[in-house]
């Protein structure tokens, strides 16, 4: 064991105690009454970064919650890595479903349970502790590092892009490192190289000008809730394919090499089924589960509302009916183009006697990166050393809109995350595995040497 590895192991309890301190601050960004807690979390984090040896760490105000910025410049001509993360957290609701209070970290079976433990305070703090370990042990930094930790990720990163642009001198970098994703499984360290994009529309179907009595009018006045169901049902066919004309035109096929990679992954389908609680899986015909989640676009209803939804029976013919419909996109689909195709198809599906409005919500571009670049090689090497097993390149079915944004502003983005499946992100009983937390710190300690030896 190297000196630094020993240091990381020896300090394990302190790392956990400090993380617990961080997690006790309820920095819920969407809750206006907790704005002071969000600031307190930023100040706490900046102080810890200064203690770690990045003495310029500061909390900078924005129009929303503040952003923590720090840097350690070894040599202005050396490559610079920008580390992004967020110190804000999701609301803890429904609070009564937590086993232990969401802001009183509790360790059970090697996991620390608390809101923000894995998303993303725990992963942010791994970076701080990795830097501390290097600097405290006299390893120094073979590349420059800059940190940018925001407090608005859970509310849409509203002020981030403008901030990055207005602080471009201070934040210029050659590559971006983000730890806000997960591992394929406990034994399979992972780098995420693809994210799906998003197009999101809201469909409002209107019939009569007010709710009518379904007895007096039913049968002659077209029911907008029935019409809406007809429209939504018409968006997918029996094979689970989206019927919007042109929807698949720009979708890239799953390549032979990607299929080969997928086949090697030890995907635990029974575990996935039992985690979700469904009776069986189903989706687009001709693709398996990981292809459906990572490589294929899809269409999901996210919300439905019409008429009487209380207990019991009310015989109303509703005036209108609403569906929120989102589509996950893959390279090279374009969110605006897909939303437009969806709008046209929805209007075509609308039956006589109702009017249909289609509103577009904010979307996101799908993202995929080339694993054959030096930064990914560096990440893979560091993961392999810390975990003792070969890492895999995976994708994620969700969208992280800031990733394409960072890539366009700075260059390659590496998503090196340490969450485990089933960590209850955005749900009660969120947890981080403390062994992953410690191995993550070890990975990040080593990573800078791996990057320095390969370049960016």
Active-site positions read 88, 153
Binding mask 411-430 for a second copy (x = CB under 8 A): --------------xxx---
Measured from the CB atom, the residue of 137 and 289 that comes closer to a second copy is 289
In 10 A of CB 439, how many CB atoms? 20
Determine, following the binding rule CB under 8 A, whether residue 439 of this chain makes contact with a second copy: no
Q: Which stretch binds a second copy (CB under 8 A): 67-75, 128-136, 310-318, 339-347?
A: 310-318
Report which of 340, 400, 389 is spatially closest to residue 366, judged by C-alpha positions.
Answer: 400
Q: How far is the CB of 265 from a second copy (least distance, A)?
A: 14
Binding mask 317-356 for a second copy (x = CB under 8 A): xx--xxxx-x-x----------------------xxxxx-
Report which of 296, 277, 299, 300 is spatially closest to residue 395, judged by C-alpha positions.
Answer: 296
- Which residues is 150 bridged to in the sheet? 86
Binding mask 31-50 for a second copy (x = CB under 8 A): --------------------
Determine, following the binding rule CB under 8 A, whether residue 232 of this chain makes contact with a second copy: yes
Classify 154 as helix, strand or coil.
helix
The H or E element spanning position 5 is helix 3-10
Determine, following the binding rule CB under 8 A, whether residue 397 of this chain makes contact with a second copy: yes
Q: Of the candidates 76, 276, 370, 372, which one interacts with a second copy according to CB under 8 A?
A: 276
Q: Which stretch binds a second copy (CB under 8 A): 31-39, 62-70, 220-228, 250-258?
A: 220-228
Q: How far is the CB of 77 from a second copy (least distance, A)?
A: 40
For tokens 């129009």, what's the residue? 63
Contact 284, 330 (CB under 8 A): no
349-378 in b/e form (b: 16+ CB < 10 A) is bbeeebebebeeeebbbbbbbebebbbbeb
Distance of CA 358 to the CA centre of its chain: 27
Residues 170-209 that bind a second copy (CB under 8 A): 196, 198, 200, 202, 207-209
Q: How far is the CB of 351 from a second copy (least distance, A)?
A: 7
- Judged by CB under 8 A, the number of residues near a second copy is 84
Q: How far is the CB of 449 from a second copy (least distance, A)?
A: 33
State phi, psi for 3 to the nearest 5 degrees. -60, -45
Contact 149, 68 (CB under 8 A): yes
Question: What is d(CA 385, CA 446) in angstroms, rounded to the nearest whole number?
Answer: 8
Measured from the CB atom, the residue of 35 and 304 that comes closer to a second copy is 304
Binding mask 287-306 for a second copy (x = CB under 8 A): --x--xx--xxxxxxxxxxx
Measured from the CB atom, the residue of 260 and 311 that comes closer to a second copy is 311
Q: Which stretch binds a second copy (CB under 8 A): 2-10, 42-50, 129-137, 218-226?
A: 218-226
The H or E element spanning position 65 is none
Q: Which stretch binds a second copy (CB under 8 A): 26-34, 42-50, 53-61, 279-287?
A: 279-287
Contact 395, 435 (CB under 8 A): no
Burial of 6 (0-12, 13-18, 19+ CB in 10 A): exposed
Q: Of the candidates 256, 257, 313, 372, which one interacts with a second copy according to CB under 8 A?
A: 313
Measured from the CB atom, the residue of 48 and 292 that comes closer to a second copy is 292
Residues 116-155 that bind a second copy (CB under 8 A): none
Q: Of the candidates 210, 256, 257, 260, which one interacts with a second copy according to CB under 8 A?
A: 210
Category of 388 on φ-ψ map: left (φ > 0), alpha (ψ -120 to 50) or beta: left
Contact 104, 426 (CB under 8 A): no
Determine, following the binding rule CB under 8 A, whether residue 263 of this chain makes contact with a second copy: no
Determine, following the binding rule CB under 8 A, whether residue 14 of this chain makes contact with a second copy: no
């Amino acid at each position: 064991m190297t000196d630094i590895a020993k240091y990381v192991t020896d300090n394990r309890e302190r790392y956990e105690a400090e993380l617990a301190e961080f997690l006790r601050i309820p920095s819920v960004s969407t809750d206006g009454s907790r704005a002071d807690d969000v600031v307190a979390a930023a100040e706490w984090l900046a102080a810890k970064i200064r203690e770690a040896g990045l003495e310029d760490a500061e909390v900078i105000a924005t129009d929303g919650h503040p952003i923590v910025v720090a840097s350690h410049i070894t040599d202005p001509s050396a490559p610079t890595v920008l580390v992004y993360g967020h110190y804000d957290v999701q609301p803890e609701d429904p609070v009564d479903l937590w086993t232990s209070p969401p802001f009183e970290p509790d360790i059970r079976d090697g996991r620390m349970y608390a809101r923000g433990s894995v998303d993303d305070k725990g992963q942010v703090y791994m970076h701080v502790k990795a830097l501390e370990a290097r600097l405290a042990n006299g390893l120094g930094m073979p590349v420059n590092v800059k940190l940018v930790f925001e407090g608005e990720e859970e509310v849409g990163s509203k002020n981030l892009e403008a901030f990055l642009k207005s602080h471009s001198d201070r934040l210029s970098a050659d590559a971006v490192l983000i730890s806000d994703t997960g591992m394929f499984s406990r034994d399979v360290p992972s780098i995420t190289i693809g994210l799906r994009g998003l197009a999101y529309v809201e469909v409002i179907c209107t019939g009569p000008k007010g709710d009518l009595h379904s007895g007096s009018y039913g049968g002659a006045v077209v029911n907008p809730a029935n019409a809406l169901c007809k429209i939504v049902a018409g968006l997918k066919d029996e094979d689970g394919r989206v019927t919007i004309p042109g929807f698949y035109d720009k979708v890239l096929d799953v390549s032979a090499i990607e299929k080969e990679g997928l086949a090697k992954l030890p995907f635990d389908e029974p575990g996935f089924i039992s985690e979700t609680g469904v009776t069986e899986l189903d989706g687009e015909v001709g693709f398996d589960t990981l292809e459906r989640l990572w490589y294929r676009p899809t269409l999901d209803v996210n919300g439905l509302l019409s008429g009487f939804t209380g207990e019991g029976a009310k015989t109303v013919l509703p005036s209108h009916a609403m569906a929120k419909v989102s589509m996950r996109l893959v390279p090279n689909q374009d969110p605006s183009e897909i939303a437009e195709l969806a709008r046209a198809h929805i209007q075509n599906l609308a039956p006589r006697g109702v009017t249909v409005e289609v509103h577009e919500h904010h979307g996101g571009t799908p993202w995929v990166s080339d694993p054959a670049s030096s930064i990914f090689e560096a990440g893979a090497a560091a993961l392999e050393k810390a975990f003792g097993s070969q890492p895999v390149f995976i994708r994620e079915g969700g969208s992280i809109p800031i990733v394409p944004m960072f890539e366009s502003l700075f260059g390659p983005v590496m998503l090196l995350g340490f969450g485990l499946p089933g960590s209850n992100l955005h749900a009660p009983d969120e947890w981080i595995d403390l062994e992953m937390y410690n191995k993550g710190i070890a990975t990040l300690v080593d990573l800078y040497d791996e990057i320095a030896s390969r370049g960016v």
